[in-house]
Amino acid sequence: MSTAILTLTLRQLAGQRRALLMLGLAALPVLMAVIFRIGEPDVDRQEWVANVLLKGFIVTAILPLCTLVFGTTALGAEIEDGTAVYLLSKPLRRSQVISAKLAAAWLPTALLVLLSMEVSAAIALLGTGGASILVGFTVATVLGCFVYCCVFVFLSVLTSHALIAGLIYVFLWEGVVTELFSGTRIFSVRQYTLGVADLIADTSHRTFEANLDGVAALVLMAVVSVAAVGVAIRRLSRFEVRGGA
């Protein structure tokens, strides 16, 4: 990994207006948790946190949207404006470039989403326990964030319309197709994340239950990450030879 590329990319991501939008997005679960506590609805708090706050809002919306923005921008912005040619002209292995860009997308996204998750869940669960749920979703979210970033960095190398392709994947494929056809869930990072959360949290089925086995989810996470990064490196090597995508 190139530390210089990592540092420069982190500065670029932090200085963009979209970073402020992501901060606002990450604040929504906290607001949601506060409203939930003020209303004090007659529901099981642990079940609400697991299924509504964490699964239904953070894993389903906040996590993929944040990773999509940072993942497609980390390298895609340079490819789109043509400055990637200068980066690739340096004596760096393509694997170093991809790993640095991947880390630059993953680190701020994971930090942002985890902060949102920990604060909002702590507010909603105050005084009711539920530590195992939070631990399970914390570990799963860190891993899910990494896999999403691998996929979106790969898309940014593959096409100049990575953001649109990512939106289609998140909302059409994961949001509609995988809900209608259970066999397609093995191609969903969201389902991997929920499977790992269920495996680690080890709660009752009434409180939370994922659609995908946790062990299978871990294996699929590894396979997808390696495949996405490997193809991205090969694609970037071709980009260098041809001087464009």
- Where in the chain are the domains? 3-242
Between 3 and 110, the more confident residue is 110
pLDDT value for 82: 63
| Tokens 């590329």 found at | 5
Degrees to nearest 5, angle at CA 193 with 104 and 136: 100
pLDDT value for 139: 97
Q: Are 106 and 130 in contact (CB under 8 A)?
A: no
In sequence order, what E strands does the chain have?
none
* pLDDT tens digit sequence for 122-162: 999 887 778 899 999 999 999 999 999 999 999 999 988 99
Q: Specify burial of residue 50 (Cβ count, 10 A radius: 0-12, 13-18, 19+).
A: buried
pLDDT bin (cut points 50, 70, 90) of residue 244 is very low
pLDDT, average across residues 202-217: 88
pLDDT of 16 above 80: no
User: What does pTM read for this prediction?
Assistant: 0.91
Tally of CB atoms within 10 A around 205: 7
The rounded percent of the chain whose pLDDT value lies above 70 is 89
Tally of CB atoms within 10 A around 64: 28
